[in-house]
Structure 1
């Protein structure tokens, strides 16, 4: 990366993702959002059509390799279950939407329609990228829209659409609660 640019951190990459989502006209974009798809996501966004995007940020090769071991491993951990859900997103979405349509109170969560890994260039190799994931790389960029802090994202591999089921109301409310909580926490800190 350019020496005069700030180093990539998760927070900086979240800003760059927000710039991309904003230029793509996503309606809602929230960093560090839990409860929408289970474990806390680095960034989630929702399009006008209520299709969800989840962004997983990896700023180092070692961080990515650790995640890769978990999702490909035989030990059933949270990352493994998440990868399994994304691999079977179409079936999971139909099942959950069907339960919700029947008025079930115990329905699960509709998985994101798109899942992205967002990294610096060269962190993820082609043969390591799961079939359910798209890849964005954060690169220096001096001019134009959808950039932040001198960086922008480029779509190295587009994320495949995993399903066409819209996010459920309870998932949108989880996002709204997260934003509301963060707002009031910031306001208390400023007072």
Structure 2
């Protein structure tokens, strides 16, 4: 990293992701939002079409490897409630899409166990080189945060680079309850910020 840039932290990367979502004209973007998909997303965002984007931020290689164990279902604490559980152990992108579509349709009909539409897009956001070749699951996109060189999205001297776009897993819109959860997240962040000032 450039010596004059601040070190990458989760909060800084959340700002870069927000800048990307803002540029993409997403309607709502919330950091550390836990009520939208169950387990907390580092960033949850919603497009004008009410499709959800979940962003999972990994700053270190060790953090990524722990996440990868969760995704693959290899960790002992895996209890089926992890944010990737709907897609875990999906052998192919088609399999992940089929699982996501089924879960989303069941949520839309009010008949799945958690009552939540899974994100339409799932992103891993990392420092460069954290995710090695062949490690990224087919259902996930990869965005790396690197020093700003050129482009139209910038925050704190950094820019996002889409290494692999996240594939759309389904077209089911977020439920009203999920939209309200995001709105509550925005409200909470506003009041927390006001008290901290």
Q: Measure how far apart 1:80 and its partner are.
A: 6.8
Aligned pairs, how many? 186
State the partner residue of 2:171: 164
Query: Match for 2:140 among 130, 133, 136?
Result: 133
The aligned counterpart of 1:15 is: 15
| Separation of aligned partners in 2, 1:119 and 1:79 | 24
- Could you tell me how far 1:142 is from its partner in structure 2? 4.6
Task: Name the residue aligned to 1:25.
Answer: 25
1:143 and 1:125, CA in 2 relative to 1: closer, same or farther beyond 3 A?
closer
Give a deviation string over 1:6-33, Cα, whole Å, max 9, x none: 1100000000001101111111111011
Counterpart residue number, 2:93: none
Decide whether aligned partners of structure 1 residues 134 and 147 sit closer, same or farther in structure 2, where only a CA change above 3 A counts: same
> Matches of 1:137 and 1:7 in 2, distance apart?
14
| Pairs within 5 Å for 1:56-135 | 56-72=56-72, 73=74, 75=76, 77=78, 81-86=82-87, 87=96, 88-99=99-110, 108-135=115-142
Structure 1 residue ranges without an equivalent (≥5): none
Larger helix fraction of residues: 1
Q: What TM-score do you get using the length of structure 1 for normalisation?
A: 0.90
Supply the distance in 1 between the matched residues of 2:2 and 2:80 (Cα, whole angstroms).
33
Q: Structure 1's 58 and 78: CA in aligned 2 closer, same or farther, altered over 3 A?
A: farther
Q: Indicate conservation of the 8 Å contact 1:71/1:80, yes or no.
A: no
Question: Structure 1 residue aligned with 2:152, among 122, 145, 157?
Answer: 145
1:146 shift after superposition: 1.4
Conservation of the 8 A alpha-carbon contact between 2:70 and 2:82: no
Instruction: Kindly state the Cα deviation for residue 76 of structure 1 after the two structures are TM-superposed.
Output: 5.6
Q: What is the alpha-carbon distance in structure 2 between the residues aligned to residue 154 and residue 65 of structure 1? A: 21
Q: What residue number does 2:5 align with? A: 5
How far is 1:78 from its partner? 5.2
Quote the Cα distance in structure 2 between the aligned partners of 1:28 and 1:109.
18
Q: Distance in 1 between matches of 2:62 and 2:75?
A: 20
Q: What's the RMSD between the two structures over aligned residues? A: 2.0
Query: Given the superposition, is the C-alpha separation of residues 188 and 6 from structure 1 closer, same or farther in structure 2, using an over 3 Å criterion?
Result: closer
1:144 to partner: Cα distance: 4.5
Kept in 2: contact 1:136–1:153 (CA 8 A): yes
Structure 2, gaps ≥5 residues long: 88-95
Structure 1 counterpart of 2:92? none
- Following superposition, the deviation at residue 148 of structure 1 comes to 0.3
- Secondary structure of the residue aligned to 1:187 is helix
Give the TM-score, by structure 2 length: 0.87
**C-alpha contact 2:36 2:178 (8 A) present in aligned 1:** yes
